[in-house]
Amino acid sequence: MSTTTTRVPTAAGAITAAALASFDSTPDPRLREIMRSLVQHLHAFITDVQLTEEEWSTAIAVLTATGHITDDKRQEFILWSDVLGASMLVDALAHPADSTGATESTVLGPFWFPDAPRREFGESLSSEEGAGGVPAYVYGRVTDTSGRPIAGAELDVWQNGADGLYTVQRPEAPEDHLRGRYLTREDGSYAFIGVRPLPYTVPNDGPVGNMLRATERHPWRPAHIHMIVSADGYQKLVTHIFDAQSDYLDSDAVFAVKGSLVRDFEARDAGAPSTPQGVSGAWCAVRNDLVLAPA
């Protein structure tokens, strides 16, 4: 005599409950909290949009492609974080607005890499002859929130060039081109010569670019110069200065523009009395004072 077994489908809620319960014994309470919340929200998202098997397979393929295109010169995962607003959300939670007057932070971006060369006060960022672009003299002071100068603060600076590209995007460029680390003087002052930055597109020949095109989003970032400012006893500051005359200030692809970081790049004629040494032709100047919060 044969018996027929009736198959009872596993309820979706039971799968979520089992996945959540699998982290109950995680010894680190913060890790347990993060993993349970991740599962809860991921399962809720899948349920909310009724994700299909084909769509889930596509998502896995996109993540795989992201890993394949990421290397020591390109970080596609950071790019995903940036264009989805996650980087700026983490930044906002880590650095809530306050009344201390400290300079606001923004995203690191995918083009920083360590060990930029040490450079002297007022020295050029450029290591490539005939690189072009309009020279930009950037200067200012680094102080604490009470206005006292911070001597010996380090500014790690990097930017794109006249072709809109960063050095890491150009294999033929000198490794140190448009990168440098500067120390402030006793009065907190610093200065360097860069080039006036240009708006540029985030890398869009990979998975992130495919998403931007599919959703009809543009890939442009407004013109800016990156800085990491650090000093003993103070919070590290990751920030930009944005060119006030740039396009895309109101539609940055990575949502990183803050009004307090927008600066005037003031035009100067060739041979003006204040022309920095080594600069020929027309140039521009931008004052950028920086305020660090205590650690």
Split at pLDDT 50, 70, 90, the class of 113 is confident
Split at pLDDT 50, 70, 90, the class of 170 is confident
What is the mean predicted confidence (pLDDT) over 218-235? 97
The model's pLDDT over 59-104, given as tens digits with 9 standing for 90+, comes to 999 999 999 999 887 899 999 999 999 999 999 998 887 778 999 9
pLDDT for position 145: 95
Name the residue type at position 93.
L
* Class level of CATH domain 76-292: mainly beta
pTM of the model: 0.88
8 Å CB contact between 203 and 109: no
CA angle centred on 177, ends 175 and 179, rounded to 5°: 100
pLDDT for position 8: 52
Q: Is the pLDDT of residue 2 over 60?
A: no
Three-state SS annotation for the chain: CCCCCCCCCCCHHHHHHHHHHCCCCCCCHHHHHHHHHHHHHHHHHHHHHCCCHHHHHHHHHHHHHHHHHCECCECHHHHHHHHCCHHHHHHHHHCCCCCCCCCCCCCCCCCCCCCCCECCCCCECCCCCCCCCCEEEEEEEEEECCCCECCCCEEEEEECCCCCCCHHHCCCCCCCCCEEEEECCCCCEEEEEEECCCCEECCCCCHHHHHHHHCCCCCEECCEEEEEEECCCECCEEEEEEECCCCCCCCCCCCCCCHHHEECCEEECCCCCCCCCCCCCCEEEEECCEEECEC
| CA–CA dist 241, 197 (Å, integer) | 10
Identify the residue with better confidence: 238 or 2.
Answer: 238
What is the mean predicted confidence (pLDDT) over 2-22? 78
Q: Is the pLDDT of residue 260 over 70?
A: yes
| CA–CA dist 39, 220 (Å, integer) | 33
pLDDT for position 169: 86
What is the mean predicted confidence (pLDDT) over 25-49? 97
Query: Looking at the chain, which residues constitute the CATH 2.60.130.10 domain(s)?
Result: 76-292
What is the mean predicted confidence (pLDDT) over 261-284? 91
pLDDT for position 100: 81
pLDDT for position 7: 63
List Cβ<8 Å contacts ≥24 apart for 92-100.
Answer: 100/145, 100/291, 100/293
Q: Is the pLDDT of residue 134 over 60?
A: yes
The model's pLDDT over 42-65, given as tens digits with 9 standing for 90+, comes to 999 999 999 999 999 999 999 999
Average predicted confidence (pLDDT) for the chain: 93
216, 266, 282 from 105: Cα distances, Å = 28, 23, 31
From the list 48, 49, 45, 39, the residue with the least C-alpha distance to 19 is 39
Split at pLDDT 50, 70, 90, the class of 179 is very high
> Which residues are within 8 A (CB) of 255 and not within 5 positions of it... i.e. 6 or more apart?
85, 88
pLDDT for position 209: 97
> Which residues are within 8 A (CB) of 125 and not within 5 positions of it... i.e. 6 or more apart?
119, 157, 158, 159, 177, 178, 179, 180, 192, 193, 194, 195
Positive or negative: CA dihedral 82, 86, 87, 89? positive
Q: Is the pLDDT of residue 148 over 70?
A: yes
